[in-house]
A and B are shown apart, each in its own frame.
Chain A
């Protein structure tokens, strides 16, 4: 089955530790995205990538880092510099946007990160 996977679903870390969240897709999508969602809030864009070996900061990139070494994979590292890392993290992928194209984003199941 084609889809997008994130693991683990729940993750606990101690304050001050870096943690990497995985995101893999087999949809052959060029574009991948990381969002953060806090209770009662919409999705806020952390980083996105439209092609392998290239990525751009979103609205809240501080304290996060990403890599895009393979088309299928877009891991997100939450560093100790992120002041409020506890949140629900969602990865998504899509075809690269073109004019008038219905390029919906497909979301993974999310990872709920709790920093103790």
Chain B
């Protein structure tokens, strides 16, 4: 079967660093996406990894290990506006499969 696992909720403090993990088992692998979704809004694209390693984009970085079926999203210098759900998604052989998302709470 196909499965994507990520923690349901996480809490971190403003200014700190947080790492959100994602493990996956899919039929085929053609890339992994991270999306941010604020409550009641549409997801917005954060990052894409298709090769092993770290991709950095400002305060956000995403890491991929294909052999381990593992990715993480790293958020630095957390701001209150980073309070949102973070969705891990994998493009398999023919479609993209989404995880259930990790709800991140930021404390002042």
Residues of A with C-beta under 8 A to B44? 107
Q: A42-B100, A43-B87, A105-B45 are in contact. Are A100 and B50 (CB under 8 A)?
A: yes
**Interface contact A99-B48, CB-CB below 8 Å:** no
**Size bracket, chain A contacts:** 20 to 34
**Interface contact A58-B95, CB-CB below 8 Å:** yes
Question: Is B70 in the interface zone, CB < 8 Å from A?
Answer: no
Q: Please report whether the interface of chain B is mostly helix, strand, loop or mixed according to DSSP.
A: loop
A106–B98 CA distance with the chains assembled, in angstroms: 14
Type the 1/0 row for A39-82, where 1 means its CB is closer than 8 Å to any CB of B: 01111110010000000101000000000000000000000000
Question: Is A85 in the interface zone, CB < 8 Å from B?
Answer: no
Q: A43-B87, A97-B91, A99-B30 are in contact. Are A107 and B43 (CB under 8 A)?
A: yes
Question: Tally of A-B residue pairs with Cβ under 8 A?
Answer: 53
Tell me the smallest distance from the CB of B90 to a CB of chain A, in Å.
11
**Interface contact B100-A90, CB-CB below 8 Å:** no
The chain A residue sitting closest to B51, CB to CB, is A100
**Residue of A41, A58, A88, A102 with most partner-chain B CB within 10 A:** A102
Which of B4, B40, B42, B97 is the one whose CB lies under 8 Å from A108? B42
**Interface contact A110-B30, CB-CB below 8 Å:** no
The 6 closest A-B pairs by CB, nearest first: A107-B42, A42-B100, A43-B98, A104-B45, A42-B98, A102-B48
List residues of A whose CB falls within 8 A of some B CB.
33, 35, 40-45, 48, 56, 58, 88, 90, 97, 99-110, 112
